[in-house]
Amino acid sequence: MKKLITILLTILCFQASAQDVTLYKRIVKELCSSKYQGRGYALDGANKAGKYLEKEFLKVGVDDVQLQPFSIDINTFPGVMELSVDGKKQIPGVDFTMREFSPGVHGTFSLYYIDTLHYNPKKIFSDLALPENKGCFVVCDFLFSYRHRDDFKRLQNKEETPSTGFLYTWEEPLKFYKAYGEKVVDKPIIWVPYRFPKNAKTITAHIDNLFLKDYECFNVIAKVEGCRHDSCYIFTAHYDHLGNLGKKVYYAGANDNASGTAAIVTLAKYYAKHRPEYDMYFIAFSGEDANLRGSEWFAEHPVVPLTQIKYLFNLDMIGDNNPVQYCEVSEEGMQGFSLFESINAEQHYFKSLNRGQLAGNSDHYPFAMRHVPCIFFENEDGDAFKYYHTVYDTYNKAIFSTYEPIFRIVRDFVERY
């Protein structure tokens, strides 16, 4: 009889766990769907996703949900997105992407290749002043241009050279960013893979940009009330992503960051059913891919004093399978990190916790800079990591291995901290 009871309890525990995984997968799949168009800004995908999350938080039984509005300036590419090389059509997101601050461009242009073996800035400026090179696109390796960025800043200035734009070669799969999209620069910059032909003569580009001024976003803030209100825990993840690259291509963002967003909804469900000692806040930030704008706004306009935060957990790109869990910890969070290491040593959730240098790479950073105890979880170097910020970060390639160990190590930490 005792053995039977043990087996039944094990089955019930497994079913409870499986239910969380089921909810987790459902939310990831929903956020990756075409109705949200990559959870970007131009087609209002981010805000549609935010309203969906508001409903999901209410469904799992939280006590309150509020939307915290803020606005951003952001450059987008929801319109025409066509590029051909010597007449051969290129695929957006696969054969080329845009730098986020690029203007639109239309026309056929000759190509000027930078000689990186015999680099001579004076000759380059002289060559680009020649009539036959007027209005050309400059082709160069991106890393080389970065090493010589002072020269290339001049080249990118329309007052310095009459070139039209730049093709920078970069590794595949090509990545797309939004972090510096709060402005539009003089000349378009297009990223192409290293396989871009070395002898191409011309490109034809028809690319539209749309600059959104004071675009209204919002953070979704859910609360589960605890028995005490003098302190709180905060669980964060960003739900926005990169949106569109033209009319037909959108960046689904399964790992980045539907994975973290779905996780905090399941954590909210857990604490709604298991009433915690302290208040719990679950914050889905918008504007993260636009340079942490949502978390920065919250840190400046908190709904609870930052001094009352016992610990903050930021989950970003946790949908992977590396058994070594990467994390970053604020100075004030180091005592808590020792507890994380102890829990992991006991429970073997991960092979190890790899603590990296604190950086402004996700939504924990504005809080770390304000002396809040916090930790950032991101599963690097797994099979999904290479696809982040690419068109391949889709639900079909989603990996769910690290969700449950992340859930459990955070839950155990809250119980013991």
Please write the tens of the pLDDT for every residue from 97-132.
999 999 999 999 999 999 999 999 999 999 999 999
pTM over 0.85: yes
Look at residue 4 and tell me whether its pLDDT is greater than 70.
Answer: no
Look at residue 379 and tell me whether its pLDDT is greater than 50.
Answer: yes
Is 23-75+213-416's fold the same as 81-207's?
Answer: no
Write down the pLDDT at residue 19: 52
Strands 202-207 vs 105-113: parallel, antiparallel or unpaired: antiparallel
Write down the pLDDT at residue 10: 44
d(CA 387, CA 173): 7
d(CA 301, CA 45): 24
d(CA 398, CA 417): 32
Structure tokens at 165: 């734009």
Mean pLDDT, range 393-410, rounded to an integer = 96
Q: What is the dihedral of CA 131, 137, 141, 146, to 10 degrees?
A: 90
- What count of other Cβ atoms lies within 10 Å of the Cβ of residue 172? 13
Strands 374-378 vs 309-315: parallel, antiparallel or unpaired: parallel
Report yes or no: 357 and 329 within 8 Å, Cβ to Cβ.
no
Phi, psi of 142 (to 5 degrees): -60, -45
Percent of the chain residues past pLDDT 70, beyond the cut? 95
Mean pLDDT, range 63-81, rounded to an integer = 98
Look at residue 230 and tell me whether its pLDDT is greater than 90.
Answer: yes
Neighbour-count burial for 102-114, b at 16+ CB within 10 Å, e otherwise:
bbbbeeebbbbeb
Neighbour-count burial for 196-211, b at 16+ CB within 10 Å, e otherwise:
beeebeebbbebbbeb
Mean pLDDT, range 295-319, rounded to an integer = 98
Helix, strand or coil, per DSSP, at residue 159: coil
Residue 59: pLDDT band (50, 70, 90) is: very high
d(CA 108, CA 304): 55
Q: Which position has the token pair 């160069």? A: 140
Report yes or no: 139 and 196 within 8 Å, Cβ to Cβ.
yes
Report yes or no: 185 and 95 within 8 Å, Cβ to Cβ.
no
Look at residue 7 and tell me whether its pLDDT is greater than 80.
Answer: no
d(CA 142, CA 326): 28
Look at residue 137 and tell me whether its pLDDT is greater than 90.
Answer: yes
Determine the residue type at 376: F
d(CA 208, CA 261): 31
Mean pLDDT, range 251-260, rounded to an integer = 98
Report yes or no: 79 and 247 within 8 Å, Cβ to Cβ.
yes
Write down the pLDDT at residue 5: 46
User: Which regions of 225-294 does DSSP assign to beta strands (E)?
Assistant: 228-238, 278-285
Q: Which position has the token pair 């058994």? A: 323
d(CA 331, CA 357): 11
Helices (runs of H) and strands (runs of E) counted in the chain:
10, 16
User: Which regions of 271-345 does DSSP assign to beta strands (E)?
Assistant: 278-285, 309-315, 324-329
- The CATH number of domain 23-75+213-416 is 3.40.630.10: yes
Residue extents of the structural domains in the chain: 23-75+213-416, 81-207
Look at residue 224 and tell me whether its pLDDT is greater than 80.
Answer: yes
The pLDDT tens digits for 173-212 are 999 999 999 999 999 999 999 999 999 999 999 999 999 9
d(CA 205, CA 207): 6
Write down the pLDDT at residue 9: 45
Cα within 13 Å of Cα(180), Cβ side: 7
CATH of 81-207, one of 3.50.30.30, 3.40.50.1820, 3.30.1360.120, 3.40.50.2300: 3.50.30.30
Cα within 13 Å of Cα(108), Cβ side: 8
Write down the pLDDT at residue 310: 98
Mean pLDDT, range 252-275, rounded to an integer = 97
d(CA 149, CA 380): 28
Mean pLDDT, range 84-91, rounded to an integer = 98
The pLDDT tens digits for 314-341 are 999 999 999 999 999 999 999 999 999 9
**124 membership: H or E segment, kind and range:** helix 121-128
